[in-house]
Amino acid sequence: MTPMHPVGDAAAVKLSFKFTVSSDWIEEQLQETGVELPETWEVDFDLPEVPKVFRGPLLAAHRQYVHLPGLPDFYAPVDEPEPFLEAIGPWLATSTEQQQQEEMQSRALSAAEAQTVENFESERKTWISQHGSPRLKRAEARGYKVNRTYATERAAIEFPRFWVDTSAESEIRERTDPSTEALDLEQEVRAWMEVHNLDFEPRIVWLVEPSKDLDEHIDQGSWLFEQQEAILVSGFLDRYILLLPVDEDLHRPLESGSE
């Protein structure tokens, strides 16, 4: 007969669980003993000493427990296998279900984000082929990243005079009690969008820091930027914001052929 033996030493298995106890039980012990006990406890089960009927359930419970966030919450400390399993069972079921739901939501969100990216790229290719500048078409055809140029060129047609913040560098705050000048400009923007079937909701905001392109425009004019009202359009291409300062000197210069 071929000799057989284990490789390494046998080792007794110990299962450790941490849990919290209720504030009511802690208060009861405080009144009874004058000692305030801690909220977090730990119990160890040495499997060789646990009755066989509880070893399997304890192993299964521990394998669930180590993969779940947080700690089970008991009314009072429990250190015997049977009552411990009864106490931890509802927490394992609830926490496992919650974890599964969160994982499903995360997968759904990831799928939605992937679909959004796919839609953006598909729309970008179509738009560039139909409306893009020669430089943009060549760069896109050769596989270069062209999102910024694409957004800038498209905004020049759909939202002339607006600046595109593709880097999320601008700082805006809520504007209360907007001026007549800002309200008039907002109305002009609404009229433009209605004529051109653009489904956005412009809002008057307080522009604290300009976007990168606007900042470069200010530098070229040797101007000093002052915080001011601006018209904000969110969700351009489902990822960028557009800004139109009230100060006409800070409007984006119109491209050739823009109205």
Q: What is the reported pLDDT for 223?
A: 87
Please check the confidence at residue 136 and state whether its pLDDT lies above 70: yes
Which of 78, 99, 120 is the last residue in one of the domains?
99
Q: Is 51 within the bounds of a domain? A: yes
Judge whether 207 and 175 are in contact, CB under 8 Å. Answer: no
Please check the confidence at residue 126 and state whether its pLDDT lies above 80: yes
Q: What is the reported pLDDT for 113?
A: 86
Specify the pTM.
Answer: 0.64
Please check the confidence at residue 258 and state whether its pLDDT lies above 80: no
Please indicate, yes or no, whether residues 169 and 239 belong to a single structural domain of this protein: yes
50: containing domain: 14-99
Domain total of the chain: 2
| Chain segment 203-212, per-residue pLDDT in tens | 999 999 999 9
Spatial separation of the C-alpha atoms in residues 259 and 243, rounded to whole Å: 17
Q: Is 149 within the bounds of a domain? A: no
Q: Is 184 within the bounds of a domain? A: yes
Q: Is 171 within the bounds of a domain? A: yes
Q: What is the reported pLDDT for 163?
A: 96
Q: Is 215 within the bounds of a domain? A: yes
